[in-house]
Amino acid sequence: MTNLEKLRGAFVEALGLAAAPADFESLTYRGIAEWDSVAHMQLVAAIEAAFELMLDTDDVIGMSSYGKAREIVGKHGVEL
């Protein structure tokens, strides 16, 4: 499994999405019903577990979209 697939898998699993979205880049915090504040923390946990990271609180708060998540994970040295 590639790192990109891991990241996308974390989104699908943590947000409880019925299926992988056609356009991950369109996913934003509170932009869909499934991505609320509770799911956000589950998403953080899923990403941290997938890549064995511990995100800073600023990253947790700033992870407002799929694109931001990709940037944050990349900042921790994960190649996507």
Q: Which residues bind another protein (CB under 8 A)?
A: 38, 41-42, 44-46, 48-49, 52, 54, 56-57
Q: DSSP alpha helices (H): ranges in 1-80?
A: 3-14, 37-51, 57-62, 66-75
In the bound state with another protein, the residue whose beta carbon lies nearer, of 14 and 27, is 14
Phi/psi at 48 (nearest 5 deg)? Answer: -60, -40
Residues forming a β-bridge with 28: 65
In the bound state with another protein, the residue whose beta carbon lies nearer, of 2 and 57, is 57
What is the smallest separation between the CB atom of 54 and another protein, expressed in angstroms? 5
DSSP letter (8 states) at residue 52: T
What is the smallest separation between the CB atom of 56 and another protein, expressed in angstroms? 6
